[in-house]
Amino acid sequence: MLEIRGLTAGYGRLAALKSVDLEVRKGEVIFVVGPNGAGKSTLLKSISGLMAPTGGTLVFNGEPIAGQSPEKLCRKGLALVPEGRSIFRTLTVQENLLLGGMIRKDKAEAAADLERVLEAFPILKSRYRGVAGHLSGGEQQQLAIARAILQRPSLMMIDEPSLGLAPLVIDQVYESLRQLNASGLTLLVVEQSTARILDLASRIYVLRNGHVALEGSASELADGHALEEAYFGYGDRQTAHA
């Protein structure tokens, strides 16, 4: 579905990503983890068209996409839930959700999807006419995810969905992600913390200093030792089965 080869990107002379290779297959849940400054958000910005890579290739469903606009990529089936959720706080929950479906030409199907989203996220249904800025952090995260669902993507990218949330709320968000994947949606999730990811991940990439330090399946990384070593920089890039 998504193939990244030799991706380099950055800010001026600062290279935040240095020849990154990554693959997302249909139906997977891929986690990219790493400490602050590892290049995780830059990776998602490069994929979603918010940044232009300086090198390498990005191929989505067989088509090169590097340098295309976010709007064009959205229509091709890419959706991004950015760090900090980026909801419109002064608009209602309803208005935020309707914005998610604006690119859809099939308005009847979009309306049906909205009903399904409200059933999947009952808290949003109960707060439908309320101002989005009055929602809790966890409710705002659910709203951001629900809004992205209404774009009907084939690949959803989520930047640090657990950021700033209480443990119980994180569990609820992760259960929502599990249900989305079970419905057929492919997920690429960036997190700083490695807690909770093994139960949901198909495969995991560890980014450190702009490089892929480790890649492997959740089963290969289940004991956590290799994951910890790569995260904290105890070794060079490796595959978990190497």
How far is it, in rounded angstroms, from Cα 5 to Cα 59? 9
Place of tokens 């990107």: 9
Place of tokens 């930047």: 159
How far is it, in rounded angstroms, from Cα 90 to Cα 183? 31
**Residue 213: half-sphere exposure toward Cβ, Cα within 13 Å:** 23
| Confidence (pLDDT) at 187 | 98
The 10 Å Cβ neighbour count of residue 120 is 17
| Confidence (pLDDT) at 242 | 44
Strands (E), 51-194: 55-60, 63-64, 78-81, 155-159, 186-191
The 10 Å Cβ neighbour count of residue 36 is 7
How far is it, in rounded angstroms, from Cα 101 to Cα 91? 15
Angle, CA of 210, 240 and 159, to the nearest 5° = 45
How far is it, in rounded angstroms, from Cα 219 to Cα 231? 17
Residue 5 DSSP SS3:
strand
Question: What averages of pLDDT result for each successive group of 10 residues across the chain (242 residues)?
Answer: 97 92 98 93 96 96 95 94 86 94 82 90 94 92 93 95 88 91 96 89 96 94 87 64 46
Residue 39 DSSP SS3:
coil
The alpha-carbon radius of gyration of the chain (Å, integer) is 18
| Confidence (pLDDT) at 84 | 75
How far is it, in rounded angstroms, from Cα 205 to Cα 214? 6
Q: What is the pTM of this model?
A: 0.90
| Confidence (pLDDT) at 134 | 94
Domains and CATH numbers, the chain: 2-216 (3.40.50.300)
3 pairs with which residues across the strands?
A: 23, 59
